[in-house]
Amino acid sequence: MSAPLRILLSDAARECLGPRIAAALGPRPFELLSINALATSPIADAITDADIAFVSRDVTGRSTKHELAPALQACYDTLRHAPSLRWVHIHSAGADRPVYGDLQARGVAITTSSGTNAAVVAQTAIAGLLALARRFPQLMAAQRSHTWAPLIDSNGIALTRDLDGQTAVVICWGPIGQQIGRLLTALGLRTVVVRRSATAVDGVHQVVGFEAMDEVLPKADWLILACPLTDITRSLIDRRALALLPPGAQLINVARGEVVNEADLISALQSGQLAGAFLDVFAHEPLPVESPLWDLPNVIVTPHTAGHSDGHFERVAQAFVDNLMRWLASQPLLNRVL
C-alpha cells in the first residue's frame, strides 16, 4: 500500500472539505494534518512534513504580508521546512507574499483562488467610485458636524458630475477587471483597458498595452487599479503617471498597495492634483497610524477588505477540491503561478 497523502489544512477547512477530499481520493490513504496545531506546538513536535497544503482565509486571519501573527508565521515556517511539499493552494488571488516565492524557487507548485472573489472586489471598487462621485466623504463629514450641506454651490449649481459619459481607465483585464468593466458599462462609463496585450475586447472602448499607458491616462476621469503585483506593475503609478491625469481625476485601488508610489499619491491628493481616492490596499499593511491618508477629506480608506464576503470560503474550498482532482489525474493545475 502506498504511503498516505498528507494534506495540511485548517480545522475549519478539514470540517468543510473532509468528505469531499475523501471522495476525490477514493481508496488512496490520506491524512489531514491540522494547521491550527502549529500555533501551540513547536514545529519539531508537531507537523514536520506534508505533500499538499491548503492555506484558507482563516489561516491568514488579520495578518498581512508585512506583519504576521505567530500562528501564521508557524504555518509559513512549516511550509518552508516540509521536504515533501509539492503543491500549495492559497485563498487569495495574488501570490506576492515572500513565502510563496521561496516555495516556488524550490519547485513547489503554487495555485491561487483567482476569480473566486472577483465579483465582490468589483462591487467594492464600484461602491468606492460611487461614494466619491456622489461626494459621500463630504456628506458624512457634514452629518457628523450636524451641518445641512446640499451638494450645490452658492449659485445653486450642482457640485457633482453625471457619471454617464465619463471615462474609466482600468489597469488589467483579469477576472476582477472584467467584472469592474461590466459594472462600469451599466453605469454608462466609457472603459479603456491597459494590459499586456492590446488585443481588442468586446464592449470596451479602447485597449492598449502597458507601453501605451501614457496615451490614455489624460482621458481618465477614473483610474482603476485591478492588477496583480508584478515587475511591470510595481510603482506603475508614480508622480509622472499621476501628472498625466486630467484635473478632477480620481483613483480606485483594489489591486496591491505597491502598484502606487504612496508618497507621490499623498502629494497629489494633498495638492488637489488628484481629486480623490478609494484605497483598499497600501504599501505597508496595516496602514501606519501616522499616515496622512487616514485624515485626507478626499480619501476613503478600507483595510484590504474588498474581497471579503460570507460566500468566499466555500468558493475557495471548491477551487481547492477541483484542483485536487486535477492534481490526482496529473492534469495542469488551474491558476498556477508561473
> Which residues are known catalytic residues?
256, 285, 304
E-state strands within the chain: 5-9, 30-34, 52-55, 87-90, 109-111, 167-171, 190-195, 206-209, 222-225, 250-253, 276-279, 299-301
The dihedral region occupied by 102, where left means phi > 0, alpha psi between -120 and 50, and beta the remainder, is alpha
Please, are residues 336 and 87 in contact by the beta-carbon 8 Å criterion?
no
> What distance in Å separates the CA atoms of residue 166 and residue 187, rounded to the nearest whole number?
10
Q: What residues form DSSP beta bridges with 87?
A: 52, 109
**In 3D, which of 17, 16, 12, 59 has the Cα closest to residue 39?**
59
Please, are residues 198 and 207 in contact by the beta-carbon 8 Å criterion?
yes
Residue for cell digits 485536487? 324
Helices (H) and strands (E) in the chain, counts: 11, 12
Angle between helices 98-105 and 70-81 (to 10 degrees): 10
Torsions phi, psi of 88, nearest 5?
-130, 130
